[in-house]
Amino acid sequence: MIKQQARTVETILRDYQAAEAVSKRNMDTVPLKTRSGHEAAIKRAKLELPKLRVEYLTAISKKAYGFFVSGDKDKAEKFVKIAAENGAFVVNAATIYEVLADKIQFSIGGRKEFSVTQVGILERELRDLVVSTGYTGPLGKVAISSLRVVSNREQLVSYVRDLVMKSNGNMPAAVHAQSEIIRQALAQEFNKQRLVVVVTGATNLDRQALTGLFTKISLVDVDSVDEVTERFAKDSIMGVLKPGYVPVPAPKTQPVVIDPATQPTTTEPTQENKQ
């Protein structure tokens, strides 16, 4: 039996772009006698697009390296800026919670109480946000046992994260990150040998959920150096992309490279891997 060869990223991308073009076809200029054929083609294209998105994500994940940045906010932002200027994609794992908090904040009154009213808004907005990424699975019900005072946006974002995690785990953050990677890849027509993705705002649980998106992940602690320089950013990334790469000068602490295939999916990373 001949094993079917996996399709290339280039082929998948070309098919996606063709299907997207058909799905957006302007029917106003189509003659009536051929309209039914065009409508059928548009319907087929719209059905194919979600499948092609999944195939595209699977293909680029085999080329993707995830760099999870932690440490001082200003240093992290500088690392992200340098990486982005050199072609890296940037994904903030906390974005989904910030977006949800912003959708809820207008409904919170002077007492700053998070009640069943806000729960209803959270459930609706969470469903809309997750479904917009292409997710079709079930969603858990958000529940609170009592009123909660959220004095500022930071507290609201934190509480929203807790509620989403308790009701749906880290699935929403994972599908949102997947959608963001696909969006950036399609926008840039990504078709290269390697894809560098810098992830910020990720907890240990978020990292576990996102690990499957990458062929390898690396933990970058920006607090391991006094100053984040272009050299440090380059060394942190190239040390993973090119085995044997020797950084000059070497940063105080090399990034920890983790092979996702050897990592547990339900437990926290070991202390050894955090070193």
**Both 107 and 42 in a single domain?**
no
Q: Kindly report, residue by residue over 89-99, the tens digit of the pLDDT.
A: 999 999 999 99
| Nearest alpha-carbon partner for 54 in 182, 206, 173, 172 | 182
Q: Is position 76 within any domain?
A: yes
- Return the half-sphere exposure (C-beta side, CA atoms, 13 A cut-off) of residue 35: 8
Unique residue bearing structure tokens 């006094």: 226
Among 51-55, 99-103, 143-147, the range of highest mean pLDDT: 99-103
Helix or strand (DSSP H, E) at 197: strand 195-200
pLDDT of residue 181: 92
Query: What is the DSSP pairing of strand 64-70 with strand 195-200?
Result: parallel
pLDDT at 184 over 50: yes
Residue 251 scores a pLDDT above 70: no
Considering the domain architecture, whether residues 39 and 100 belong to the same structural domain is answered as no
Q: Confidence class of residue 147 from pLDDT cuts 50, 70 and 90?
A: confident
For residue 267, is pLDDT > 80? no
Neighbouring-strand partners of residue 89: 197
Considering the entire predicted model, what is its pTM?
A: 0.76
Both 118 and 73 in one domain: the answer is no
CB 108 within 8 A of CB 86: no
Distance between CA 136 and CA 58 in Å, rounded? 18
State the average pLDDT over residues 120-139.
91
Phi-psi region of 253 (alpha: psi -120 to 50; beta: other; left: phi over 0): beta
Closest by alpha carbon to 154, among 191, 102, 195, 110?
102
In a domain, 208, yes or no: yes
Please tell me the total count of domains within the chain: 3
User: What integer is the mean pLDDT of 114-125?
Assistant: 94
Kindly state whether residues 103 and 79 are assigned to the same domain.
Answer: no
- Tell me the C-alpha distance between 82 and 77, whole Å: 9
For residues 86 and 99, membership in a common domain is answered with no
User: Is residue 157's pLDDT more than 60?
Assistant: yes
pLDDT at 269 over 60: no
> Could you tell me which residue, 272 or 77, shows the higher pLDDT?
77
Whether 271 has a pLDDT exceeding 80, the answer reads no
User: Residues 218, 87: contact at Cβ < 8 Å?
Assistant: no
Same-domain pairing of 229 and 104? no
The answer to whether residue 2 is domain-embedded is: no
3-class SS at 4? coil
% of the chain exceeding 90 in pLDDT: 53
Is 179 part of any domain?
A: no
Q: Is residue 4 part of a domain?
A: no
Query: 145, exposed or middle or buried, with CB in 10 Å at 0-12, 13-18, 19+?
Result: exposed
Mention every residue, 6+ apart, whose C-beta is less than 8 A from residue 113: 147, 148, 149, 150
Range of the domain at 247: 64-93+193-274
Q: Residue with structure tokens 């595209």? A: 56
Of 57-66, 117-126, 262-271, where does mean pLDDT reach its minimum?
Answer: 262-271
Range scoring the smallest mean pLDDT among 60-69, 150-159, 247-256? 247-256
Instruction: Please tell me whether residues 131 and 118 are part of one structural domain.
Output: yes
Q: What is the mean pLDDT of residues 235-256?
A: 62
Same domain (yes/no): 251, 142: no
Residue 257 has pLDDT above 90, yes or no: no
Whether 200 is covered by a domain: the verdict is yes
Amino acid sitting at position 163? L
Burial of 90 (0-12, 13-18, 19+ CB in 10 A): middle
Asked, for residue 223, whether it belongs to a domain, the answer is: yes
Instruction: Dig out the tokens for 66 from the structure.
Output: 């995830």
| Domain co-membership, 258 together with 130 | no
- Residue 239 above 90 pLDDT? no
CA triple 242-238-261, angle to 5 deg? 65
Whether residue 111 is contained in a domain is answered as yes
| Judgement on whether residues 45 and 85 belong to the same structural domain of the protein | no
Please give the average per-residue pLDDT across 230-251, as a whole number. Answer: 72
Top-confidence residue, 205 or 114: 114
* 269 and 200 assigned to the same domain: yes
Nearest partner of 162 among 137, 136, 135, 144, judged by Cα: 144
| pLDDT tier for residue 245 given thresholds of 50, 70 and 90 | low
- Same domain for 125 and 159, yes or no, is yes
Strands 256-258 and 216-221, by their bridges, are antiparallel
Per-residue pLDDT reduced to its tens digit, 35-64: 888 889 999 999 999 889 889 988 998 899
